[in-house]
Amino acid sequence: MSAEVEQVITVRLLKGFALSVGQSRVPIAWSAQRLVAFLALQDRPRTRAYVASMLWPENTMARANANLRSSLWRTSRTGHHVIEASAQEMAIANNINVDIHDAVSRAHRLLDTTCRCDDILNTQTRADLSADLLPDWSDNDWVLIEQEQYHQLRLHALEAMSERLTAAGRHGEAVAAGLAAVRAEPLRESAHRVLVNAHLAAGNQGSALRQYEQCRRILLEELGLEPSEKLKNLLPQSIAAR
């Protein structure tokens, strides 16, 4: 008789919160979502006092601790082991798969110039790096800090991904990664630069020039700035001299 296969429990934080077991989404109360998301983003167990103060900073410590106990109880109502909790500390359970952990790991690999990354130069990596962390959540400082940290990491990683794909001659994918970086931060000149370079590597000078002009227009309208010489020098002199 075959052993029963244990279903994977996943916490999704990219594009929005979701708790899933296998392919089925598990209903979970809002306060419990916040607790699970917070713990999923931590790199180590946290004291109950720390968690309570971060999630309910506007409350007294007694009230915050009461809210924490309630949220922990609501999490247990899902019927799944999601949080490890002792009298002093708590953490996300070891068996939980958290999507952003893998995305962050791949981002750091892309940024490590000594690391070969052929196995992660794919659509899934680009999709994860194109997604915002908990985009509809902005109610606490801890959320905003985590969002900005991941936003900056993914921008650098998308640019590195575009450069790696360009070097590998995978020009269509390089353009897609560059476009993802530009969409995420239209005022970021370095994102426009890797995209222009990807177009040029593919032999598409017209697309490269259009991207340059788009960058130039955005920078002038929003910041009153011209593109840098580094970007201009990628292009034919007739454009760079404008």
DSSP string spanning 83-149?
EEE-SSEEEE-TTEEEHHHHHHHHHHHHH-TTS--GGG-SHHHHHHHHSPBSTT--SSHHHHHHHHH
Task: Map out the domains of the chain as residue ranges.
Answer: 9-94, 101-240
Instruction: With H, G, I as helix, E, B as strand and everything else as coil, classify residue 183.
Output: helix
Question: 101-240 — its CATH code?
Answer: 1.25.40.10
Q: Which two tokens stand for residue 88?
A: 């002093």
Q: What is the rounded CA–CA span in Å between residue 97 and residue 6? A: 13
C-alpha radius of gyration, the chain, whole number: 22
| 9-94 maps to CATH 3.30.930.10 | no
The DSSP symbol for 169 reads T
Indicate whether this model's pTM tops 0.75. Answer: yes
What is the C-alpha to C-alpha distance for residues 222 and 180, in angstroms, rounded to an integer? 20
Q: How far apart are CA 107 and CA 129, in angstroms?
A: 8
Read off φ and ψ for residue 181, nearest 5 degrees.
Answer: -65, -40
pLDDT tens for the chain, 242 residues long, are 344 456 899 999 999 999 999 999 999 999 999 999 999 999 899 999 999 999 999 999 999 999 999 999 999 999 999 999 999 999 999 999 999 999 999 999 999 999 999 999 999 999 999 999 999 998 788 999 999 999 999 999 999 999 999 999 999 999 999 999 999 999 999 999 999 999 999 999 999 999 999 999 999 999 999 999 999 999 876 544 54
Contact 195, 165 (CB under 8 A): no
Instruction: Compute CA distances 97 → 11, 102, 105, 166, 172, whole Å.
Output: 6, 9, 13, 32, 31
Cα 205 to Cα 5: distance, rounded to the nearest angstrom: 53
